[in-house]
Amino acid sequence: MLGLNTKRIGRKVIYFQEIDSTNEYAKKIALHEDEGTIIIADTQKRGYGRKFRTWESPKGGLWMSVILKPKTAPENIAKIIFLGAIAVVETLERFGVEARIKWPNDILVNEKKICGILAEGSFSEKEVYHVTLGIGLNVNNPIPEELLSTSTSISKVLGVQIPIEEIFKILVERLEYWYEEFLRGNDGKILQKWREKAILNREVKVIREEGEIRGKALGIDERGALILELKDGRKEKILYGDVSLRFE
C-alpha cells in the first residue's frame, strides 16, 4: 500500500516492472483515464526525452508519468513543466538535497543532471485535451558510464539509498499542491517560485536548431520563454532550446 494522501494526483497508480516508456503508455490511455492517474515502472526499455533522445532508466530510479486534463489553453503547458520542476526540487529538499532548475526542464545538483521532465500534450488551437507529465529522477540507480560527468543521483549525493516509495509519496504530494495552484490560476506564484529555484543571472549558451546563441539568462516570461540578454544589450526570447552552463 502506498498510502497517498492526495485527492487528485495518484488517485490511481498503474505499476509495471518493465515498460517501453511510461509517457508513451500514459499518452495511449490518457483519453479514457481520469485526471491524476500515474504510470510508474521499475525500468523503461525505451525511455525518452525531448526530440526522442534516449532516457536511461535502469532499476532503482523513479520513472513516472502523470495524466493531467486541465481546462486551459495550450500556451499554459509550459507552466505544467515548471510546476513539475518545482515539485521535484521541493521533494529533493525534504531529503536534504539542494537542487536548481535549468531551463526548461532539467533539475541539477552541483550542476549535474539528477532529473529530467518531459511534458507531452494533445491539444487544439484553443483547448488542451490532456498533458502527460513525465518525470525521470535518478534515485538509487546506477548512472551509465557515458553520463557520469554530467549526471548524478540521490544516492550518489547523499551516500545512502532512499526507498523510492518515500520519494514518490512526497513528490506526488508536492505535485498536487502546485497543480492545484495552477488550476486556481495562481500562475504568478508558480513563475515566482520557479525563478527562485532556477539558475539565472549567469552566462549560458543556448543550442537551438538555427544555431548557438550566448547571453545572460535573465528569467522567463509568461509563456515560459527564456529571456536572454545578449552582449550588445538586446534581449532575445527563446521558446525551444538546450541550455549549456559549461563552455569556453
Binding site for ligand BT5 (CB under 6 A): 21-23, 44, 47-50, 53, 55-56, 63-65, 105-106, 113, 116-118, 134-136, 138, 147, 151
Q: Which three three-digit cell numbers place residue 64? A: 513516472
CB of residue 165 to ligand BT5, shortest distance in Å: 17
Residue whose C-alpha is closest to residue 23's, from 67, 60, 61 = 67
d(CA 37, CA 14): 8
Q: How far is the CB of 23 from ligand BT5 (least distance, A)?
A: 4
- The least CB distance from residue 233 to ligand BT5, in Å, is 29
Q: For residue 129, which amino acid is it? A: Y
Nearest distance, CB of residue 56 and ligand BT5, angstroms? 4
Q: CA-to-CA distance for 246 and 204, rounded, in angstroms? A: 8
Nearer to ligand BT5, 73 or 148 (CB): 148
Return d(Cα 71, Cα 130) in angstroms, integer: 9
- Distance, in Å, from the CA atom of 212 to the CA atom of 156, rounded to the nearest integer, reads 32
User: For residue 72, how far is the Cα from the chain centroid?
Assistant: 19
Minimum gap (Å) between residue 77 Cβ and ligand BT5: 15
Minimum CB distance to ligand BT5 smaller for 17 or for 124: 17
Strands (E), 29-125: 38-44, 62-68, 100-102, 106-109, 112-123
Nearest CB to ligand BT5, comparing residues 90 and 106: 106
Query: Shortest gap between Cβ of 147 and ligand BT5 (angstroms)?
Result: 5
Nearer residue to ligand BT5 within complex by CB, 72 or 153 = 153
Minimal distance, residue 14 CB to ligand BT5, in Å: 13
- Residue placing its CB nearer to ligand BT5 in the complex, 49 or 70: 49
Q: Which C-beta is closer to ligand BT5: that of 56 or that of 180? A: 56
Cα distances from 51 to residues 12, 22, 23, 55, 238, in angstroms, run 29, 16, 14, 11, 17
- Per-residue 3-state assignment (H helix, E strand, C coil) for 203-225: EEEEEECCEEEEEEEEEECCCCC
Residue 113 neighbours by CB under 8 Å, 6+ apart: 106, 107, 147, 150, 151, 152
Q: Which is nearer to ligand BT5, 64 or 198 (CB)?
A: 64
